[in-house]
């Protein structure tokens, strides 16, 4: 019997699907260093490394926490609010395919891990240039359990939203709205940079920003294209829409830039790429290519409006995670309710095709997710603030987080540094230049 069982299991693995998911997992992991580059270009030069390291730190901490408990809480069983503890420490996560997929369970876990990692890294955009590195790592560990795993269970793991009929192809709920509205809470609790609203705080390297956005877009083909867990039609549809939607967002962003400032900006273009990728993330496998293009064009409008509005407020949500991810994710989730097409997705129609109930399911997620992400993140950081100082001192902030937090300089001049060598007693000798 056991031999038969193994044979049956082996037959369920599809090599093509597995091959694609191996590649897709690597593509999504690459998005986090790409995000580090994107964010590093948007900050001042003295905070380059710290900003990048927040993304690297998310790979470290969220990756470990995911394997230990996060995956289990998100994907063990179909409890309404939270998963079980059956997969803690990757117990029982093996080569046997996960139910409903044709790929090894272990690979499914790894693919989902990369989502948790980049979502935690996204939130750092709200607190760069002033949050201390140590508390940020602790925040990532706790946030990936309290916020990401919970939202992932609701939308992907068989929780109440998925069970109720809400559609989310690649993470509009846990990744995009989860990070965007958490970022707003984090910005409010950590507080504005000391110079915010007093000095012009400008991006220090627009080429990093463009290159980071390009690499993110490249990785997003794995993110959306892999979220069908196969090489089947939903994956092909999501993959292609990941090309079309951001292209439309770019065109509209160009026009909005022209109207507002008479020039098409490079950092605006990089932002538009992100916005377009986020817009299609929830809807990728559910709407036709034509409607995906409409989504890219129309969905750019609210995001652009929030990006213009936010810097006029006292809210130093520094890298506009709310606009680019929260608002775009919100828009994409609702768009499914309007224009999902049974002919294209084989699951459900939206309001436009005669199924008003789908819009209700989507609206419920668009209402509850921001409230949960914002509320839980706010409470978590407030609680952490009782035990430790979340941000660096004004003096440290002025000097820059690279030197203060990491003892390194992103752009050392190479001049004026004196070599220090350990001697036999473990003490240091300063090499004397004379």
Partner 1 sequence: LKLVIGIVRPEKANDVLEALYRAEVRGVSISRVQGHGGELDRVETYRGTTVKVGLEDKTRFEIAVSDEFVQPTIDALCDGGRTGEVGDGKIFVVPLERAVRIRTGESDQAAVTPVAK
Instruction: For residue 131, list its beta bridge partners.
Output: 391
Residues in region 20-79 near partner 1 by CB under 8 A: 46
Q: Which of 418, 423, 426, 432 binds partner 1 (CB under 8 A)?
A: 418
Both tokens of 61, joined, read 């901490």
Instruction: Work out whether the CA dihedral 245, 292, 152, 99 comes out positive or negative.
Output: negative
| Contact partners, residue 188, CB within 8 Å, separation at least 6 | 315, 378
Identity of the residue, 88 or 403, whose beta carbon is nearer to partner 1 in the bound complex:
403
Stretch binding partner 1 (CB under 8 A), from 92-100, 115-123, 300-308, 405-413: 405-413
Q: Please say which residue, 100 or 407, places its beta carbon nearer to partner 1.
A: 407
Q: Does 408 bind partner 1 (CB under 8 A)?
A: yes
**Burial status of residue 132 (CB atoms within 10 A of its CB: 0-12, 13-18, 19 or more):** buried
Q: Given the complex with partner 1, which of 1 and 420 has the nearer CB atom?
A: 420
Rounded least distance, CB 401 to partner 1, Å: 12
Task: Out of 413, 426, 432, 434, point to the residue binding partner 1 (CB under 8 A).
Answer: 413
Please enumerate, as own/partner, the contacts of 252-255 that have beta carbons within 8 Å and a separation of 24 or more: 252/296, 252/297, 252/300, 252/301, 253/300, 253/304
Only one of the segments 116-124, 231-239, 343-351, 403-411 lies at the binding site for partner 1 (rule: CB under 8 A); that segment is 403-411
The CA distance from 330 to 364, in Å, is 11
Please, is 406 exposed, middle or buried when counting C-beta atoms within 10 Å of its C-beta (0-12, 13-18, 19+)?
middle
* 26's tokens: 């690597």
Decide if residue 426 touches partner 1 (CB under 8 A).
no
87-97 per-residue burial string, b: 16 or more CB within 10 A, e: under 16:
bbeeeebeebb
Bridge partners for 361 per DSSP: none
Instruction: State yes or no: residue 424 binds partner 1 (CB under 8 A).
Output: no
**221, two tokens:** 């083909």
**Is position 407 an interface residue for partner 1 (rule: CB under 8 A)?**
yes
Least distance to partner 1, CB of residue 39, Å: 21
> What is the rounded end-to-end Cα distance, in angstroms, of the chain?
81
Site track 151-190 with partner 1 (rule: CB under 8 A), x = hit: ----------------------------------------
Applying CB under 8 A, the span of 171-179, 356-364, 383-391, 414-422 interacting with partner 1 comes to 414-422
CB atoms within 10 A of CB 165: 15
Listed ranges 137-145, 346-354, 370-378, 410-418: which one lies at the site for partner 1 (CB under 8 A): 410-418
Span from 164-172, 283-291, 372-380, 404-412 in contact with partner 1 (CB under 8 A): 404-412
Q: Which of residues 190-229 bind partner 1 (CB under 8 A)?
A: 195, 199
Q: Distance between CA 61 and CA 66 in Å, rounded?
A: 8
CA dist 109 to 92, 98, 169, Å?
Answer: 11, 9, 17
- Minimum CB distance to partner 1 smaller for 354 or for 414: 414
Whole-angstrom distance, CA of residue 277 vs CA of residue 324: 10
Span interacting with partner 1, options 121-129, 180-188, 237-245, 399-407, rule CB under 8 A: 399-407
Q: Does 81 bind partner 1 (CB under 8 A)?
A: no
The residue assigned the tokens 């929780």 is 159
Among 2, 15, 395, 434, binds partner 1 (CB under 8 A): 395
Is 428 a binding residue for partner 1 by CB under 8 A? The answer is yes
Cβ proximity to partner 1: between 249 and 318 the closer is 318
Size of the site for partner 1 (CB under 8 A): 21
Piece in contact with partner 1 (CB under 8 A), picked from 209-217, 219-227, 356-364, 409-417: 409-417
List CB contacts of 199: < 8 A, sequence separation 6 or more.
none
- In the complex, the residues that contact partner 1 under the rule CB under 8 A are 46, 195, 199, 395, 398-400, 403, 407-409, 412-413, 415-420, 428, 430
């Amino acid at each position: 019997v056991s031999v038969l069982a193994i044979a049956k299991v082996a037959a369920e693995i599809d090599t093509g699907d597995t091959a694609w998911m191996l590649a897709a997992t690597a593509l999504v992991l690459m998005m986090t260093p790409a995000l580090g580059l994107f964010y590093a270009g948007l900050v001042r030069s003295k905070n380059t490394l710290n900003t990048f390291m927040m993304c690297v730190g998310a790979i470290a901490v969220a990756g470990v926490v995911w394997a230990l408990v996060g995956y289990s809480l998100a994907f063990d069983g179909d409890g309404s609010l939270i998963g079980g503890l059956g997969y803690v420490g990757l117990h029982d996560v093996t080569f046997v395919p996960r139910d409903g997929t044709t790929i090894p369970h272990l690979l499914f876990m790894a693919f989902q891990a990369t989502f948790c990692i980049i979502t935690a890294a996204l939130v750092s955009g709200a607190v760069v240039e002033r949050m201390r590195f140590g508390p940020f790592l602790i925040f990532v560990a706790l946030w990936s359990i309290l916020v990401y795993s919970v939202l992932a269970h609701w939308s992907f793991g068989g929780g109440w939203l998925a069970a109720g009929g809400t559609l989310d192809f690649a993470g509009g709920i846990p990744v995009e709205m989860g990070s965007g509205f958490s970022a707003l809470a984090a910005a409010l609790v950590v507080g504005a940079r000391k110079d915010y609203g007093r000095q012009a705080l400008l991006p220090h390297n627009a080429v990093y920003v463009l290159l980071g956005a390009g690499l993110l877009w490249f990785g997003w083909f794995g993110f959306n294209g892999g979220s069908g867990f196969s090489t089947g039609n939903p994956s092909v549809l999501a993959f292609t829409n990941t090309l079309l939607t951001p292209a439309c967002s770019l065109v509209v962003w160009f026009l909005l830039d022209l109207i507002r400032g008479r020039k098409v900006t490079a950092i605006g273009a990089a932002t538009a790429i992100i916005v377009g990728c986020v817009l299609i993330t929830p809807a990728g496998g559910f709407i036709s290519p034509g409607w995906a293009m409409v989504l890219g064009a129309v969905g750019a409008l609210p995001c652009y409006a929030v990006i213009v509005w936010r810097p006029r407020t006292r809210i130093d949500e520094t890298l506009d995670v709310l606009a680019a991810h929260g608002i775009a994710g919100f828009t994409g989730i609702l768009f499914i309710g309007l224009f999902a097409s049974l002919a294209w997705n084989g699951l459900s129609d939206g309001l436009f095709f005669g199924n008003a109930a789908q819009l209700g399911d989507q609206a419920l997620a668009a209402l509850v997710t921001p409230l949960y992400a914002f509320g839980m993140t706010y409470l978590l950081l407030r609680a952490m603030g009782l035990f430790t100082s979340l941000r660096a001192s004004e003096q440290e902030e002025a000097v820059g987080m690279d030197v203060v937090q990491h003892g390194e300089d992103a752009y050392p001049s190479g001049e004026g540094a004196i070599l220090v060598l350990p001697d036999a007693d473990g003490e240091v000798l300063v090499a004397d230049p004379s």
